[in-house]
Amino acid sequence: MKITFFTHLLLLIMLFAVPVKAQQTSLCKKTITWDYGGYTFTNDFELSLDEYNYYKSKSKRQPYEVFATEEQGHEYFLYLAKVLYKDAKDLKYNDYQLTAYLTAFVQAIPYKDDPYNGGYDYPKYPIETLVEDGGDCEDKAALLAALLKTFNIGVVMVELTDHMAVGVACEDCGDYYTYKGRKYSFIETTSKGWKVGESPYSEADAHILEIAQGEVFNRDDTYVSNTDSTNNPQLPNISSITDSPFYMEHKVAIWCVIIFLLIFIFM
Of 219, 47, 36, which is closest to residue 125 (Cα–Cα)? 47
Hey, what's the torsion of the CAs at 259, 260, 266, 267, to 10 degrees? 130
Assess contact for 155 and 211: CB atoms under 8 A.
yes
Query: Higher model confidence: residue 205 or residue 126?
Result: 126
Q: CA triplet 212, 92, 36: central angle to 5 degrees?
A: 80
| Stretch among 23-27, 67-71, 94-98, 227-231 having the lowest mean pLDDT | 227-231
Which pLDDT tens digit goes with each residue over 196-209? 999 999 888 899 99
Residue 4's alpha-carbon distances to 9, 10, 13, 81, in angstroms, are: 9, 10, 14, 56
Across the range 3-20, mean pLDDT stands at 50
What single letter denotes the amino acid at residue 241? I
User: Using CA atoms, how far apart are residues 106 and 190, in angstroms rounded to an integer?
Assistant: 8
5 band by pLDDT with thresholds 50, 70 and 90: low
Query: Higher model confidence: residue 223 or residue 61?
Result: 61
Across the range 45-54, mean pLDDT stands at 98
Q: What percent of the chain has pLDDT over 70?
A: 74
For position 7, what pLDDT does the model report? 52
Of 121, 224, 225, 130, which is closest to residue 164 (Cα–Cα)? 121
Helix (H) or strand (E) holding 88: helix 77-90
pTM: 0.75
For position 260, what pLDDT does the model report? 67
Which pLDDT tens digit goes with each residue over 81-113? 999 999 999 999 999 999 999 999 999 999 999
Given the candidates 3.90.1520, 3.10.620, 1.10.150, 3.40.50, the CATH classification of the domain at 27-211 is 3.10.620
Query: Higher model confidence: residue 81 or residue 263?
Result: 81
For position 224, what pLDDT does the model report? 33
Q: How deeply is 74 buried, as exposed, middle or buried, from its count of CB atoms within 10 A (0-12, 13-18, 19+)?
A: middle
Q: Looking at the predicted structure, is the pLDDT value of residue 120 above 50? A: yes
User: Helix 77-90 and helix 137-150: axis angle, to 10°?
Assistant: 70
| Stretch among 3-7, 58-62, 172-176, 181-185 having the lowest mean pLDDT | 3-7
Q: Looking at the predicted structure, is the pLDDT value of residue 79 above 50? A: yes
Domain-wise residue ranges, the chain: 27-211, 239-267
The contacts of residue 154 (CB under 8 Å, 6+ apart) are 148, 168, 169, 182, 184
Across the range 150-169, mean pLDDT stands at 97
Across the range 187-203, mean pLDDT stands at 95
For position 220, what pLDDT does the model report? 81
The contacts of residue 233 (CB under 8 Å, 6+ apart) are none
Q: What percent of the chain has pLDDT over 90?
A: 68
The contacts of residue 12 (CB under 8 Å, 6+ apart) are 256
For position 236, what pLDDT does the model report? 35
Q: For residues 216-234, b (16+ Cβ closer than 10 Å) or e, as one string?
A: ebeeeeeeeeeeeeeeeee
Phi then psi for residue 169, to 5 deg, are: -65, 115
